[in-house]
Amino acid sequence: MRFAVLGDVHLIADHDPCGDYLRLREPFVAGVPAFRRAVRWLDTLGLDAVFSVGDLIDWHSEANVALAAEVMSQLRCPWHLTPGNHDLSVPKAADGRIYDNHGPDVHRAACSGRWHRHGVALHDRRVHIDGWDLWLLDSSSGRVDEAACSWMHGGPPERTIVLTHVPFDRAPIRDVVVASDGDRDLRVYVQHGSPITVADSLEGRVATVFSGHLHLPGRIADRGTTFHLLDASFARGPRPPTITVVEDHRGQLRVEAMAAAI
What residues does each domain of the chain span?
A: 2-259
pLDDT tens sequence across 174-215: 999 999 988 888 888 999 866 665 666 777 788 899 999 999
Of residues 126, 154, 145, 155, the one with CA closest to residue 49: 126
Of residues 152, 211, 153, the one with CA closest to residue 177: 211
User: Class for domain 2-259, per CATH?
Assistant: alpha beta
Helix 62-72 to helix 32-42 angle (10° resolution) is 30
Classified as helix, coil or strand, 161 is strand
Contact 100, 92 (CB under 8 A): yes
More confident residue, 49 or 30: 49
Please, which residues have CB within 8 angstroms of residue 170's CB and are 6 or more apart in sequence?
190, 199, 220, 222, 223, 227
Q: What is the mean pLDDT of residues 26-53?
A: 93
pLDDT tens sequence across 141-162: 888 887 776 776 666 667 889 9
Q: What is the mean pLDDT of residues 25-43?
A: 90
Give backbone dihedrals phi and psi of 240, rounded to 5 degrees, phi first. Answer: -70, 155
Least confident of 72-86, 111-125, 139-153, 212-226: 139-153
For 195, counting Cβ atoms within 10 Å of its Cβ (0-12 exposed, 13-18 middle, 19+ buried), the class is: middle
DSSP 127-159: EEETTEEEEEE--TTS---GGGGGGGGSS-GGG
Looking at residue 101, what is its pLDDT? Answer: 56
- Looking at residue 57, the DSSP 8-state letter turns out to be B
Classified as helix, coil or strand, 65 is helix
More confident residue, 25 or 138: 138
Alpha helices in the chain (DSSP H): 19-24, 26-30, 32-42, 62-72, 108-117, 171-180, 186-189, 196-200
Say how far residue 226 (Cα) sits from the centre of its chain: 16
Radius of gyration, alpha carbons of the chain: 17
Contact 237, 215 (CB under 8 A): no
Rounded-to-integer distance, Cα 143 and Cα 165, Å = 10
DSSP 212-246: -SS---EEEEETTEEEEEPP--SSSSSSPPEEEEE
Contact 132, 143 (CB under 8 A): no
